[in-house]
Every structure is written in C-alpha cells, then in structure tokens.
Amino acid sequence: MKQLFCIFLLAIANLLYLPYGYSQSKSTQTDNRPWNASWIAAANDGGNEYGIYYFRKSIELVAKPASFIIHVSADNRYKLYVNGRLVSLGPARGDTYFWNYETVNLAPYLIAGKNTISALVFNEAQFRPEAQISVRTAFIIQGSSTNEEILNTNSTWKCIRDAGHQPIPGYFFAASKGEMVDMNQAVKGDWTAVKYDDSTWRGATKVLDGKLKGMSWGIDWALIPSPLPAREMTYQRLTKLRGAIGMSIPTTFPEKKVPLTIPANTTIALLLDQTFETNAYVTLNFSGGKDAGISLGYAEALYDKGSNGTRKSNRNEVEGKEFIGRKDSLIADGSQGQSFTTLNFRTYRYIRLIVRTKNDPLIINDLYGTFTGYPFERTAVFNTDDIESKQILDIGWRTARLNAWETYTDCPYYEQLQYIGDTRIQALISYYNTSDDRLARNALTLMDHSRIAEGVTRSCYPTKGTQIISTFSLWYIGMLHDYWMYRNDSDFIKDKLVGERAVLDFFSKYQQPDGSLKDTPYWAFVDWAGNLAGDVKGTDGSAAIYDLQLLWAYQWAAEMESKIGLRDYANIYNQKAAQLKATIQRKYWDPIKKLYGDTKEKTGFSQHTNSLAILTGMVQNAELPALTKKLLTDRTLTQCTIYFKYYLHQALIKGGLGNDYMNWLDVWRDNIKMGMTTWAEVSDLQNTRSDCHAWGASPNIEFFRTVLGIDSDAPGFTKIKIEPHLGTLTNISGSIPHPAGKISVAYKLERGKWQISINLPEKTSGILVWKTKAYVLKAGSNSFVI
C-alpha cells in the first residue's frame, strides 16, 4: 500500500511516561492584561512548509518557586518540556478567531539554579490533519505575571529546525499521517536537557505580537484560554506477540521490557497485539544498527488475504490475514540510545515492526505506548450479574473514550473530525456517564463558530475545509436542547439561540408554501443505509425524512425560545411546526400500509422516516402500536445502521416496547462475536471502514435512560422521571451523575413484589412511572413495594 507521511524524532522514552498526568491546567487569567510576548519562529523560516522545530531557553532561579504560571500556544502544535520533563501538549484545536492557549504551572518542575524550558513545535503544513487550521509555524509563551515574564518568547529564545524529518504523503486523507525520520540527519542528543549544548543554535525571530482576542484588528491567532483540561497520558505496554518472521523472540516480549538484538544483514517482521484498540503515543528506543531501516505499522484490524484491503473477518484472528495500515519509517544512525516518539498519537490494535539491518546489528531496547485521551472519569454505575451487559458497556465506554480528545471525533484512525451527527450521541454519553460536560460545551461552541454566512453550520468543526451536511445543522439544534435538558446552565444555551435561529432561517428559504422542504441543499446525509446517504428525493424535490428533521428542530427550538429566548420566535416555530405536521401527514402517510413513505410517491419506506414520525408526535395513538410493531418486523423497510438505531430505539420505546430493549442489541452482539473491542462504523462488520465509531455507543445512554429509566423531565434536570424498562431482569441497580449530585435506583423482585429504591439529589423532585401509574418522588430516599 501507499506509505503515509509526516515525521519526527527524539522525544526520549521517559518524557512521555507520566504515570499521573502533567501540570497543564485551566487558565486562571481573568483579566484582559495585554500580552507583551511575541510569536516566534526559526530565523529565515517562511512558516508554511512542513517542519519540526526545537526551541530552548535557560533561566537562573534563586529558589524553587511555589508557583510559576505561563500561557503557551503554537501553530500547528507543541510539546513543552521543563528540565527534560514533558509538562504540556497543545494547543487544543480551534480556529484563528478563537486560538487556544494552555495555562501551565511550571513550579513542580523547576529547581533552584539553572532551568531549561524547551518546546518541540511542528507544522505539518499541507499534510496536516483536516481538523488542523493554521496560519504559519510559530510559538508563544506569556508569563502570567511580571516574575514569569522572564520566559516570554522573544529573541532570547533559541531555535533550530530538525533536518532529519521529511513528510511521506499517504492516503489517510483526514487524520494525522505517518512520519519519516533519518536519525543520521536529526538533531543529536537530548535537546530538552539542561546540560545540552545549544551554542550553535540561532536566535528565534519575531513573527507577530501576541494578541488576546479583541485586542487586534487582524485574525492571526486571536488568543483565548483553552476551556479544556490537560489530556490523560498513561503508560501502556503492548501485551502479545502474534507472529515473528526472521528470528526467535523471547516469550515475555513485548509485555515486558526485553532487549532484542537483530543481527547484521537480517530482516525481521513482528506482529504485536495490544488485544484492544487504543490511542497512544508510540515510543521506540533502539541502539546501533547503522543505516538500518525500521518500519512501525499501525492497524485497527487485519484484512482477509485477497480482499485488497476491503474485507475483515474476526479481529482476533491473524492466520490468513494481511497487514495494511499507516506507517512510521526510521533510519538508524548507529549510536546508542536512539529514541523515537510519534508527534501525534497512533490508533491501533495491531503494530507491525519490521527491521532490516545492514552491516551492524540493531538492538530494540524497548517499545511501548502512552495512552492519551480526554480525561473523562466514568462515574455512572450499572450493577448486574449479566456479563454480556457489562461487556457492551465497557466496549461502548472504550469507543467513546477513543473518540474524545480535544474535541469529540467520528473515528480516531481515519478522520478525527467532530461531526455533529456523531457528537450529539457522544455528548449524551458524557452526560449519562460522567459529571464532566466541558468537552460537550466546547463542541457546542465550536459548532456555533462554524456557521457560514448563510446560517448553516459546517458538518464538522474545526476543519480547514468547508464540508456542509445541512441535516446535521438540525441535529445541532437537538444538541442544544439536550444540553438544556440535562445540564443546569440555561445562560450557556441562551447565548447559542442566535445560531439556532440562523439555522432555521437558512432552512426556511428552502420550504415550499406548504412548509415541505424542496431540494434540501448541500449534502443531505441521514444514514449509511439504502438511499438515505443523501439521495432520497421525490419528484417534487422533497422527502419525508428531511421534513421530519426540520419539524423536530422547530419543536426543540420552540421549547427553548419559550423558556429562555423570545416568545415571538416560539410562536413562529410552533406555527411552522403545526403547518409542517399537517403537510407530512397529507403528503407521506400511506393509509393502506399504515406507514409513512420516504417520498410523496410512497414507493419506498424506511425505519428512519417512521421512527422520526413517532418521535415528533406525528403518529396518532390508535396507529402507534401497529406502526411500532412494523418497525421491528417489516424487513422491507430500509433498515437503520448501528448509528441510526439510536433514534429507532427511542421510537420503539415511545411506542410502548421498551421492555424489549435488551432484545434489540444483535448488532452489538455481532461486534463482540467478531472480536471487536470498539464499535464499528456501520453494521456490515466485514466491510466497515472504521472499527471505532462512537455513534454506535448509544447503549451507554440507554442502559441508564431506558433500562434503569432515569431521564430529565424538565430543563436543567430540575425534575426527574424514573420509568424503568426491565424486561426479564429481576435484580438490577445503578446510578448516574446529576448537576446537583447523583441519581441512584435499585429494583429487585422478591416473592412476587418489586422492592424499589430511588435516591434523588437535594432540591430535586420527580415521578416514578411504573406500568402507567405515577408515584411522586421527593429529594433524598424513596422506597416502594409494588
């Protein structure tokens, strides 16, 4: 296959081994004091070419400080070191109008005497990930106070470009690429160390003044404090050797640190298995092997031989498989203590290591990963004796975590883009499983920033391009409504209502006199199923699925506007919703099939259209049981993939079938049977592209919202509704985080009576709905025998 591209070098092994995370912290700067630091770069560097740069400055301190806070940013990205220790990675991705800086307390790493602060800054230029917006190569540090301004970036900093790095273009079009490093040409020695000799390095050159947002007429890096915490960085060893060609390998490798000596003029290939998918910075330490070639390949799964990289079978199997994936390539310089750590994390379950020596043997001293991700803490609890349920939740949680970094992402291997359709589900997973909503807030803010002049959002953001999936703008309004219902922060959402209005105004321009959308613009994606990837359209240019999405968006918007916005808008949206409901009923309802057609011709029918018809209140109570049953039994309907089953399941629950929820998880069970450790992008597991797509992790919502029955019943989660759907379960309990604390429930069947215990946070109330009967719940403990 084609090689990839990019590059890097000498980030020594222990620099990324941080067992407890590093000191980056949320900005404490609350004033608007102008910065006096400069954006700096290497002398005579144009700033728009691929390059890896090292910056250094040494300072003398009389005593170890109790606090030493700096603000730091770069374009594209940086790794910041103090006295050889990695202390910060960044900046969190945004755009030039909102360019993030990270705030770091360096005090824990400083000493009395000489200290060296250094940074690796890299610019992948035209090869950078699709999510990476850029102006040019540059680096900046601003001290938080006069004492810390000794580290302000200016001409006292030194800089050198590492010539050992050259990009290797590859076909993984959207995510970060591979790296090519020639150690013979790379900067020698540990350039982060205090004693390193940088006398030959040139002084850095000023590029621009550092300007906080609003303090400059231009948009070159309008600086804002990052709203996110430092990412998790956890040492992670590979666990299994699955194949070796060319030499025998100790049985403890790679799980244990065991040196491997590859003789001169030898080629070996090792297949290593993490046993589960992960995101990790990969570190390879090696010695000797002058001019030996080293290849590190990364793959989510192995491909069936003869399929040309299109078909995968059981992910645990290696026999009859071939390795296809992105690669890093190295050339050894023959010295002792060579080290390579990837610039960006790599996503993999399998790593293939190939070494081809020349006249000198090469020693592999160590190979390991450093897991990285947004530092979510899983606080939700689901207590059950069912092993399968635990497995589904654990795989879903891993999937969600691998798709949460500085933004949510659709997939970590291929694209790393924050798509709205994916992100809506991911944010809800965060609300139900953690007490941390910062990444969700960041997503909502970025999507708001992404709107173009027409009012519609981009499909994903941040992104250097402008892809628009217009239907995702409607899901964005759903995301606003979700946050409003599950997090007690109406002011945050109120600030976003201008964007909601802009989106609906955009769609109003494509509505016909009866309210139905005609020729829905841009990419009208719904799901990877049938013609719902954007091709569904009747002869009049309309389709039920788009009208239903718009209807739902009007309903969400009207609710928010009536409580925290402008009532005039609520009235307008309610009127538009009423008109659209009448049009949908007249235009798409088939009285013979008792289903809604995908178009006015009613030649095609889908689970998608009929699910949204239920969820938007289109279906009359008399028709609801029969239609709901057809969603499950009528195989002529276009079937939802794992993504859109999120909406299908909600419709089935609203239709009264929630007690069967555990019977609807076959696609997740199929994933497990196929050796998956994360959920695939689509339901066709042999032909799926991505093996890790968080939009499939909806059981991590529904096990709590549907099975345990915990849901918000008012904006801000100020009222709580408990309506369990236990099916055949007779002993189950659990809890989720709540803005005011925690909600706990327990259900146990004993001698024909249900023992029910529910605990609500302070200053909340709610209802328990049990077999259509409602029971009042108060704050604190509630017990029932039913």
Q: Residue 539 in 3-state DSSP?
A: coil
pLDDT tens digits, 343-363: 999 999 999 999 999 999 999
With residue 743 as reference, give the H or E element that holds it: strand 741-750
Contacting residues for 633 by C-beta, under 8 A, at least 6 apart? none
Q: What is the pLDDT of residue 6?
A: 34
- Radius of gyration of the chain from Cα atoms? 28
Contacting residues for 27 by C-beta, under 8 A, at least 6 apart? 71, 101, 102, 103, 225, 226
Q: What is the pLDDT of residue 268?
A: 98
- pLDDT average, residue stretch 576-595: 98
Band of pLDDT at residue 11, cut at 50, 70 and 90: very low
pLDDT tens digits, 298-311: 999 999 999 988 99
Q: What is the pLDDT of residue 33?
A: 87
CA-CA-CA-CA torsion sign (150, 151, 152, 157) = positive
Band of pLDDT at residue 31, cut at 50, 70 and 90: low
As separate numbers, helices (DSSP H) first and strands (DSSP E) second, the chain gives: 13, 37
The whole-angstrom separation of Cα 40 and Cα 207 is 5
Report the Cα–Cα distance between both ends of the chain, in Å, rounded: 63
Residues paired with 328 in a beta bridge: 296
pLDDT tens digits, 492-514: 999 999 999 999 999 999 999 99
Q: CB-based burial of residue 561 (10 Å sphere; 0-12 exposed, 13-18 middle, 19+ buried)? A: buried
- pLDDT average, residue stretch 683-694: 96
Among left, alpha and beta (phi > 0; psi -120 to 50; other), residue 291 is left
CB atoms within 10 A of CB 258: 15
The whole-angstrom separation of Cα 50 and Cα 165 is 9
Residues paired with 367 in a beta bridge: 284
Q: Edge-to-edge strands of the sheet including 51-61?
A: 85-90, 77-82, 113-123, 51-61, 158-161, 202-203
Q: What is the pLDDT of residue 219?
A: 76
Share of the chain above pLDDT 90, in %: 93
- pLDDT average, residue stretch 154-164: 97
Q: What is the pLDDT of residue 169?
A: 77
pLDDT tens digits, 193-203: 999 999 999 99
CA-CA-CA-CA torsion sign (593, 595, 597, 601) = positive
- Specify whether the CB–CB gap between 427 and 482 falls below 8 A: yes
The whole-angstrom separation of Cα 657 and Cα 627 is 12
- pLDDT average, residue stretch 163-174: 81
Band of pLDDT at residue 168, cut at 50, 70 and 90: confident
Q: What is the pLDDT of residue 121?
A: 98
Q: What is the pLDDT of residue 177?
A: 85
Mean pLDDT of the chain: 94
The whole-angstrom separation of Cα 233 and Cα 761 is 33
Residues paired with 115 in a beta bridge: 59
Query: CA 409, 411, 415, 421: dihedral to nearest 10 degrees?
Result: -60
Q: Residue 602 in 3-state DSSP?
A: coil
pLDDT tens digits, 48-107: 999 999 999 999 999 999 999 999 999 999 999 999 999 999 999 999 999 999 999 999
* Distances, alpha carbon 267 to alpha carbons 245, 337, 361, 367, in Å: 8, 21, 11, 18
Tokens of 222: 């309008």
- Specify whether the CB–CB gap between 427 and 440 falls below 8 A: yes
- Specify whether the CB–CB gap between 664 and 634 falls below 8 A: no
pLDDT at 10 over 50: no
Q: Edge-to-edge strands of the sheet including 719-722?
A: 710-712, 719-722, 765-770, 773-777
Q: Residue 320 in 3-state DSSP?
A: coil
Among left, alpha and beta (phi > 0; psi -120 to 50; other), residue 91 is beta
Q: What is the pLDDT of residue 30?
A: 44
- Specify whether the CB–CB gap between 446 and 100 falls below 8 A: no
Q: CB-based burial of residue 178 (10 Å sphere; 0-12 exposed, 13-18 middle, 19+ buried)? A: buried
Query: CA 701, 555, 488, 30: dihedral to nearest 10 degrees?
Result: 110
34 vs 17, higher pLDDT: 34
CA-CA-CA-CA torsion sign (424, 428, 430, 436) = positive
**Cα 695 versus chain centre, distance:** 10
pLDDT tens digits, 385-441: 999 999 999 999 999 999 999 999 999 999 999 999 999 999 999 999 999 999 999
The whole-angstrom separation of Cα 502 and Cα 284 is 50
- Specify whether the CB–CB gap between 671 and 679 falls below 8 A: yes
The whole-angstrom separation of Cα 457 and Cα 451 is 4
21 vs 320, higher pLDDT: 320
Contacting residues for 514 by C-beta, under 8 A, at least 6 apart? 579, 583, 587
pLDDT at 2 over 60: no
pLDDT at 15 over 50: no
CA-CA-CA-CA torsion sign (193, 110, 104, 437) = positive
CA-CA-CA-CA torsion sign (545, 548, 552, 554) = positive
pLDDT tens digits, 525-536: 999 999 999 989
Q: What is the pLDDT of residue 172?
A: 63
pLDDT tens digits, 639-663: 999 999 999 999 999 999 999 999 9
- Determine the angle formed by the axes of helices 497-508 and 470-486, rounding to 10 degrees: 150
The whole-angstrom separation of Cα 434 and Cα 263 is 51
Band of pLDDT at residue 171, cut at 50, 70 and 90: low
pLDDT at 18 over 50: no
Contacting residues for 101 by C-beta, under 8 A, at least 6 apart? 27, 71, 72, 73, 90, 91, 140, 142, 223, 224, 225, 226
Q: What is the pLDDT of residue 216?
A: 83
User: Among 474, 504, 599, which Cα is nearest to 545's?
Assistant: 599
| Residues in the chain, overall count | 786
Share of the chain above pLDDT 70, in %: 96
Q: Could you please report the per-residue DSSP string of 331-392?
A: E--S-SSEEEE-SS-EEEEEEEEEEE--SS-EEEEEEEEEEEE-------EEE-S-HHHHHH
pLDDT at 22 over 70: no
